Structure 1
Amino acid sequence: MSFAANESVHVRAPGKINVYLGVGGRHDDGYHALATVFQAVSLYEDVIARHADGFSLTVSGVEDPDAVPLDDRNLAMRAAKLLAAAAEYPGGVALEIRKSVPVAGGMGGGSADAAAALVACDALWGTGFPQARLHDLASRLGADVPFALHGGTAVGTGRGDQLNPALARGRFDWVLVMSEQGLSTPVVYGRLDALRDEEGALADDPPLSLDVPIPVLQALRSGDPELLAESLHNDLQAAAVFERPDLAETLRLGIRAGALHGIVSGSGPTVALLCSGPESAQEVQSVLRESGLDPLHVHGPVPGARII
């Protein structure tokens, strides 16, 4: 394989929200069956890849420098090394990550970094892997990474990494309320398991696969935010609110401000408020800002990781 000599490659990848997230019981391997609908939204991670002898990583855009690891615990670093091994590439890469998606916010920022790193290193090194091969590598890095590669709107099943594109007409406007303090995904899943154990909500032998309800897909196809608002659901929300009771108040504030409905994104703590359109979203954003929150207006669906 011949390797190219681009000096640097800049890739942008989107964060995501889960407009629907169904979680099955925990299996012996520790994983849960998922049925989810991802939507990529206009909040992005930027990754710049430059040639280097070894592998290194710098991060900007985070208040706490210790919040993002710079070693092999970082998904982008692992993505670069995985691609190098698969391509038998002899060199390394210096990755620069400029973050906008909140850390540990349930919006897949680390997964977006990994997807962007795969695309950036593939272009930088000239490995020329087809999209299907990159998808395979992405799925080995984590359930959300393949979606960050593709973007748009998609149904995820299995562990969330088995993707099928979902038709979503038009544009959906969201107001995101970030949180300075992140939530650990394993902690939230553990809390969900504990709540279910207390309630006896699931059978001893949970299903290996789940399905996304038809009304969710119909609402996306219609492009009607009011229909989608009726279908928003997240099985992890109760667990996230248990860990962070303030999230329930944020959801109430958003709906009082004029949002159609709200949901905790993924494992939280980011709250996503669906609005009827851009003007409504701007109004909700303004009211929440007056309440002392730091809301952001985004829209979806948007494309996945791409070179800019």
Structure 2
Amino acid sequence: MNVTVRAAAKINLHLGVGAPRGDGFHPLTSVYQAIGLCDDVTASDDESGWDLRLQVSDWIDAGAVPVDSGNIVTRAASLLARHHGIASDGHLLIEKAIPVAGGLAGGSADAAAALVALDRLWDAQTSDEDLLAIAAELGSDVPFALLGGTALGTGRGELVTPLADAGTWWWVLVPSLEGMSTPEVYRHFDKLFPDASPTPPPADELIAAVASGEPHRLARLLRNDLQAAAIDLRPDLGLLLDEGEEEGALRGLVSGSGPTCVFLCESADHARDLAGALMRRGHGIVLVANGAVAGAHIVGGNHG
């Protein structure tokens, strides 16, 4: 038997960051959107133990993705197996198209896909509530990767509530061949903003813009409190945002902790035109994706 599950990259339409709590985590108010740039995870029977393999798109450095116990997918398998008191046997193939360390939660997408695939492979029949709890143990973005769509994240981002979303949103993404460390960006945020409020800025106006389906309204309200820290560490990101807006993007934004930059467009045609303009400016990897799309879901498999 095998089962293939697809999980989407996420972007943050709003990322409000508060001062770090006593446990070191930053309280967040985030509005996530899942976009049509996806990884596939295929789980197959393997009674001899655990095996993890990787295939990557040509713009991804395979060496940046561990295929041992350091991969979040292996941790996901262990937590799910422990929850049910079973062995974490199986062969997993990750087919990656989401950039690594790019601020798009590709690892979280893989973890969510693995949870869904292994739950079906092992016939574990895990409840949605338990699956979300296991996802939250794995990382702040994993519960959203299960849910997909557009959603509000609070706490460390792991408490997820679906939002009304009337739009089909078109994005141009420019990934970087050099990833960024999320903890380093947060540390730099703390250095730049030592007097940050313990309460992250709310997202009410942006949530209303998402519900309206109006791209110009949404563009005005996009927010990423980590953007200043990311650009201070990588000034080239600021130059890229300027280029995208000069070429007609409604708005450019660093995605999450970076370094991927995303540009909101009016339509599919507008997005394709902007992608072409950025490629002519010498950016070799430019992607077009729409949102919002579904969370981790089964797209193939057999019961042989």
- Smaller-chain TM-score bracket: over 0.9
TM-score between the two structures when normalised by the length of structure 1: 0.93
State the percentage of identical aligned residues: 46
SS at match of 1:220: helix
Whether the aligned pair in 2 keeps the contact of 1:37 and 1:212 (CA below 8 Å) is no
Q: 1:274 pairs with 249, 264, 267, which one?
A: 264
- Mapping for residues 88-237 of structure 1, pairs under 5 Å: 88-197=85-194, 201-202=195-196, 206-207=198-199, 210=200, 212-237=202-227
**Aligned residue pairs, count:** 295
SS at match of 1:25: coil
Q: In structure 1, list runs of 5 or more residues that go unmatched.
A: 1-6
SS at match of 1:45: strand
- Residue 22 (structure 1) aligned with residue 16 (structure 2): yes
The aligned residue for residue 261 of structure 1 is 251
Once the 2 structures are TM-superposed, how far is the Cα of residue 103 of structure 1 from its aligned partner? 0.0
CA RMSD of aligned residues (A): 1.1
Whether the aligned pair in 1 keeps the contact of 2:265 and 2:271 (CA below 8 Å) is yes
The aligned residue for residue 4 of structure 1 is none
Whether the aligned pair in 1 keeps the contact of 2:29 and 2:203 (CA below 8 Å) is no
The aligned residue for residue 43 of structure 2 is 49
The aligned residue for residue 305 of structure 1 is 296
Q: 2:232 pairs with 236, 242, 267, which one?
A: 242
SS at match of 1:120: helix
- Residue 40 (structure 1) aligned with residue 31 (structure 2): no
SS at match of 1:122: helix
Query: Greater CA deviation, 228-237 or 54-63?
Result: 54-63
Q: Aligned letter for 1:149?
A: L
Q: Aligned letter for 1:239?
A: A
Once the 2 structures are TM-superposed, how far is the Cα of residue 20 of structure 1 from its aligned partner? 0.5
What is the distance in 2 between the residues matched to 1:12 and 1:99?
A: 10
What is the distance in 1 between the residues matched to 2:274 and 2:87?
A: 51
Whether the aligned pair in 2 keeps the contact of 1:155 and 1:212 (CA below 8 Å) is no
Whether the aligned pair in 2 keeps the contact of 1:18 and 1:266 (CA below 8 Å) is yes
What is the distance in 1 between the residues matched to 2:167 and 2:52?
A: 37
Whether the aligned pair in 2 keeps the contact of 1:157 and 1:211 (CA below 8 Å) is no
Once the 2 structures are TM-superposed, how far is the Cα of residue 133 of structure 1 from its aligned partner? 1.3
Once the 2 structures are TM-superposed, how far is the Cα of residue 183 of structure 1 from its aligned partner? 0.3
SS at match of 1:123: helix
TM-score between the two structures when normalised by the length of structure 2: 0.95
What is the distance in 1 between the residues matched to 2:296 and 2:104?
A: 15
Q: Aligned letter for 2:110?
A: D
